[in-house]
Amino acid sequence: MKKHRYDYLWIFSLVYLILGFFNILFAWIGLLCFFIPLFLSIVTGTKLYCNRYCGRGRLFSLIGGKLGLSRKKDIPPFVRKPWFRYGFLIFFLTMFFLMLWNTWLVFSDARSLKEVVTVLWTFKVPWHWAYRGSIFPDWAVQFAFGFYSIMLTSTVLGLITMIFFKPRSWCVYCPMGTMTQLICRLKSKGGMKRRTDFDRNRI
């Protein structure tokens, strides 16, 4: 199998996580991992991001697969059921809006900036070293802390399921993956019935 340049996108994911330890403002870059997948599936009607460009998926393949940090066992079947995948997506989005709400509170001066990163929605880890003041308003910094919390949380969850199950177990219940698949489902409705055979659109 030929190596492509996008096979190295795991470096991007890794660098992103590391940068957050030094300056929280880099967390804003993570918005790319939110908008690009959605944009690609809306435009192409495929999961092109997952199938080709996702750095996180590649990172799990590398650590769990090549480096062998995975038991490579089957995931409990409930994880791949729609109720769980959609349920986790709703939970994830709720947490996302809660984070936006916190950003709003700081924006409207109802609350002051909290320099913590919340891991697994529970553990508040002091993270003050990653912010020493900037020209940016407090709300933008609060958003960075909130967004980085989400990215770190999903990485930690992904790493845990990587160790216990297959390397890319996270992809089974990843909210971005569920969302892009949902977009593809909606887009292909109607079009599906007319089709008689597959067009082999290779990826």
Residues lying near ligand SF4 in the complex (CB under 6 A)? 37, 49-50, 54, 56-57, 170-171, 174, 176-177
Minimum CB distance to other proteins, residue 90 (Å): 17
Q: Does 116 bind other proteins (CB under 8 A)?
A: no
Show the tokens assigned to 165.
């199950």
Question: Residue 71: how many CA atoms within 13 Å on its side-chain side?
Answer: 8
164 close to 71: Cβ distance less than 8 angstroms = yes
Show the tokens assigned to 43.
């435009």
Q: Does 51 bind other proteins (CB under 8 A)?
A: yes
**Three-state DSSP state, 166:** coil
Binding residue for other proteins (CB under 8 A) from 79, 95, 105, 119? 79
60 close to 37: Cβ distance less than 8 angstroms = no
**Amino acid found at 164:** F
Minimum CB distance to other proteins, residue 68 (Å): 13
Nearer to ligand SF4, 20 or 177 (CB): 177
Nearer to ligand SF4, 150 or 171 (CB): 171
Nearer to other proteins, 7 or 112 (CB): 7
